[in-house]
Structure formats: structure tokens, C-alpha cells
Amino acid sequence: MQNYVFVIDAKKQPINPIYPKKARRLLDKGKAAVFRMYPFTIILKTAIENPTISPCQIKIDPGSKVTGFALVQDGQVIWGMELEHRGGLIKKKLESRRAVRRGRRNRNTRYRKPRFLNRKRPEGWIPPSLEHRILTTQTWVKRLIKFCPVNEIWVERVKFDTQKMQNPEINGIQYQQGELAGYEVREYLLEKWGRKCTYCGKQNVPLQIEHIHPKSKGGSERVSNLCLACEKCNQRKGNKPIEDFLKKKPSLLQKIKTKAKQPLQDAAAVNTTRNKLVKVLQNVLPLITGTGAQTKFNRTKLGFPKQHWIDAACVGNIEALVLRTSQPLLVTCKGQGGRQKAALNKYGYPIRHNPLKPIGCRPRCANKGWTTGDIAKHQKLGIGKVTPRTKGSFGFTPLGTKGYKSCKPQDISAIHRKDGYTYGFCQ
């Protein structure tokens, strides 16, 4: 089952999404034209007087690395999407830039005076890698509102108690022990260990919380000492030290030890951005929030598999839900390109000049209206990505291949202009 197709009328106003089959009929009969490829949207060629519109709700499951989106109309999930963020890449690039600037003060070049003493961060500042998550979510909410009649936004406002995760024995008036603390730890372990047995890798089986260093031999309840194991592996390990249990699998032992020490950075990222995300989306449309425990309860009750876009559909207080799609749109943030004027080799010397600037900083007419990353259709080569040149033929890479071919500009027609994202579908 594919996502429903977005429809806008002749005045570019959104109306009810329709089945893909119905959209193909309208296109074949010439009553509509393709307006946008991702998300796929058609525009009607004739106006419709007083169309009947059923409002939809945008449901969002914010995550540290992937955010799930779902459109629900009259209790039916008609469209899904998973948005993969690039916060980790932003952090690496900022660290690289900082290292270059610090090194510049020690090299035999002009002196660059430090400026950190007279700079002040504004109130509510968060790191760019986290700000990116909020801005891309806001961008896609506004984009969906243009193509679909939306009246509400539902957001999962999850909160991870990282202090409770690190020190489960904390007590007193500050903490009231309840079901949510146990849920947070188990849900975090499921995400951390990939929802499979740590020792044998089995999936879709009941998993038990297991102590890496046995509790009977001094192991703690800290989340860094916990993992997930199936019943068989848990019984086989018993109270053996993990070094003895995996002495014949040294690579797996090293992998588990490394992963167990990973910080709670994903949970911290969600905690940091959750309030600001709600504040930003409240200025767009009326907002309803739900809890993480409520989302998991709904998904378990309805018997749905664990996926980000399905979690988004299960946000909030719902009684019943029907999935009308099983093929969500997969979107990956890639950015708009850098401003580096020359490509460098490993020694730092320029080897190639980059004449083009990022999108928004250059006219498309410089390359006959094309820019690197545009998706086009070739008469013989099919659909692929375009690499324009100021002179001569263009480069053309068919989708799904790594082959690089040449083509003439007049032989290709635009399908989707580069917008900083790459697209795909769940198979």
C-alpha cells in the first residue's frame, strides 16, 4: 500500500488526498498535472466549487536521529514519512572548523585575535546540531500544510529521566517511583541495542533486561551495565562474567563493551529540544501533546510493528487506527552544500576550484537553469541526478546506480529540484 497522493486545486489550495490509482486516472485523462515529486502532489487543471474537505492531523514522533511523521484522517493513516537528521554531521563539521581556527593562531600566518571573551549566547540558545532538528521538523510541517488540509498537530512530548537512568537507587521527595521510570529504561535499552538480543542477535522474540557484569558479583543497576538478551542466552550466561561467556567471541565482546559505555546523548538531545519544538509548532497550528508511554501503549494495543512513522501515528489518546499505507517516504537531510571555494588534498593544498555557490546564493541561469543534485528524466537513461557544467554536456547518474554518464541538456526534463534532502521509499 502506497502513500496517498496530495492534491491541490487550480488556485493551489489543498483538498483531500486521494488514492494513487485515482491520481493516475486524473493524470492519464489530462485533468491534472504533476506539481511536485516529493512529496508527490498533483494540481487540478479545473477549479472545484465548494469541495468537501475532511481535515487531517499531522502526528510527529520526535527523535534524536530520526523523526516520524504521519497524516491521520478520520482514524486512518493515509501518509507516512521518516526524516533522518544530520545533527551528528553538523557537530563534526563545527569541530573541524574550530580545530582549523585554533591551529591558525599557532601557524606562521596572520594573527587571529580570539573573540570568545566578548560574545554572549542569547537566551534559549541550543547547539546548532540540535537547532537543526527543530528547524527541519518545522520546515516539513509547513510544507505538508501547503499540500494537505491540516487542522491540528499532535506531538509526542517524551521526557527521559537521565538522572534516574544513571542512578536508579536515587530516592526522596524529588522522585516518585512509578511505571514511567521503568518504561524509560526499557525503551532506552530497546533503542540502544537495536531491539534484538545482544548476544545472539535474534529479533522479534521476547527480550529480558540483562546485567553485563552480574549483579551477584557487584554489578550495578546503572543503564551502562544493562543490555537485552533472549531467555535462552540469559539462562546460558547466568552469573558468569561476560569475559568468560564470550571468550570465544572476542570481537563481539569488544563491541558490547564499547557500546555499553555510550553516553545518554540521544536521550539528552530529545530532552533539550522537546520544549522548544512544542513552542515553535504552537505558532503554526493548534497543538496537542502526548507522552511516550501513551504512544507505546497504543502501538502495543493495536498490534503495530515498531517504526518511527507508526509511532507518530500512535501519538495521543486514540481508540482505533487503520493503516492505509505501508510504504512511508524516507527523507534524509543533506544540506544545501558548502561554501568552500577550492577542494583540498590530504596535505591541505587546493586541487580543484569550486565555481558554484550553495543554493540560494547563485542564479540557476548560469547552468541553463540546472544545479547539482537536481533530479531529471532522460529519454533513454531514465531518471537520475544531474551534474551541470557551464560548457558542454552534463553529467547524469541514473538512480540506483553508480555509473556516471554524459548527456545533452536538451535531452533531459526536470522532475524535482534539489532542496537539501534525498528521497527514497521503504521496500
Q: How many CB atoms lie within 10 A of CB 107?
A: 8
Q: Give the phi and the psi of residue 414 in degrees, each rounded to 5.
A: -70, 135
- Cis amide linkage into residue 17, ω under 30° from 0: no
- Asked if 44 and 26 count as a contact pair (C-beta separation under 8 A), the reply is yes
Could you give the angle at the alpha carbon of 400 between the alpha carbons of 398 and 406, nearest 5°?
A: 20
Cβ burial, residue 93 (10 Å; 0-12/13-18/19+): middle
pLDDT score at 167: 53
pLDDT in tens, the chain (427 residues): 788 999 999 989 999 999 999 999 999 999 999 898 899 999 999 888 888 899 999 999 998 889 999 999 999 999 999 999 998 888 888 888 888 777 766 777 676 676 666 677 888 888 898 899 999 999 999 999 999 999 999 998 866 555 455 555 545 434 444 434 455 677 778 877 888 899 998 888 888 888 888 888 888 877 788 888 999 999 998 888 888 889 888 898 888 888 887 656 666 777 778 888 889 999 999 999 888 888 888 998 899 998 999 999 999 888 889 999 988 999 999 888 777 777 778 777 888 776 555 444 444 445 567 887 888 888 888 888 888 877 778 889 887 777 778 888 888 888 888 888 888 876 6
341: nearest Cα among 331, 353, 333, 349:
353
Q: Which of these CATH numbers, 3.30.70, 1.10.30, 1.10.3470, 1.20.120, describes 173-263?
A: 1.10.30
Q: Which of these CATH numbers, 1.20.1330.10, 3.40.50.10140, 1.20.1250.40, 3.30.420.40, describes 5-86+128-160+266-333?
A: 3.30.420.40
Measured between alpha carbons, how far is residue 412 from residues 173, 363, 374, 377, 396 in Å? 68, 20, 11, 5, 9
